Structures are given as structure tokens and as C-alpha cells.
Amino acid sequence: MGENNSERILVIEDDQFLRELYEELLKDEGYSVDMAADGEEGLKKFHEGGYNLVLLDIMLPKIDGLEILRKSQENKPKKENGPVVLLTNLGQDSIIKEGFSLGASGYLVKSAMNPDQVLNEIKVFLKKDK
């Protein structure tokens, strides 16, 4: 456990394999991790707030990632969240742009990154929040 174990990360991702991968990856680094498997559950947790970082998949069942961002602008989270990083697939450029306009701080292309790269990116985003 590093000294960053007080940092809370919310992962909203419907792909079980990726969800478990991120969870294991982040917990091994000493982060406190919350998971949501669909947009509805994700929105609830996002709205409770207080996360240092949110990894938000764009394509989600029930409510998609952009919709979560939209709703959180209309109805601010109870506790402010840190940066929101979109989890995307290749070729979603227009969606990513819209995500940025709704307040996302960055994005990760899921298929193009190995776990180490994902972890490095996450650390960069967490530092920006300081």
C-alpha cells in the first residue's frame, strides 16, 4: 500500500473483464476503488461524489457516459469529484469532443493501452487534481 491509499477512484465500465482488471490494478497500487457496471449505478455513485478520479466508459447500458456527465452538470454531485477520464474505443473522436465540452479531463483508448500505461495515465490525472 502506497501513501496514496486515501485516494478514491470510481470505475464505471460494463465490460466485466476490464472492470476486474482496473479494480485489481488500482487496488494493488493502494487506491480505494468503487465499481459500477452500468450507467444507472455509475450515475448514483458519481452523484454521491467525493472521488479523486472517475474512469467513465462512454458506451454503457441504461445511461451512457455522456449522459452521466450531462446529468451531473444539471445536478451537481453532493461532493465534488476530481478529473473524469473517458474510457473509449478507437474512432470515437466526436464523442470524445462532446465529453470534453461536458467537463471530462482526458480519455484513454481501451484497446490501445496495456495495464502499465493505464496506470501511468491515472497517476498523471491524479497529480493534476492536487
Render the burial of 83-112: b for 16+ CB within 10 Å, e for the rest: bbbbbbeeebeebbebbeebebbebbebee
Q: Which amino acid is at 106?
A: G
| Domains (range + CATH), the chain | 8-128 (3.40.50.2300)
Residues 6 or more apart in contact with residue 103 via CB below 8 angstroms: 69, 72, 73, 84
With beta carbons less than 8 A apart as the criterion, state whether 31 and 8 touch. Answer: yes
Strands 53-57 and 8-12, by their bridges, are parallel
pLDDT at residue 5 tops 90: no
Lowest pLDDT segment from 23-27, 70-74, 91-95, 121-125: 91-95
Please tell me the pTM assigned to this model: 0.92
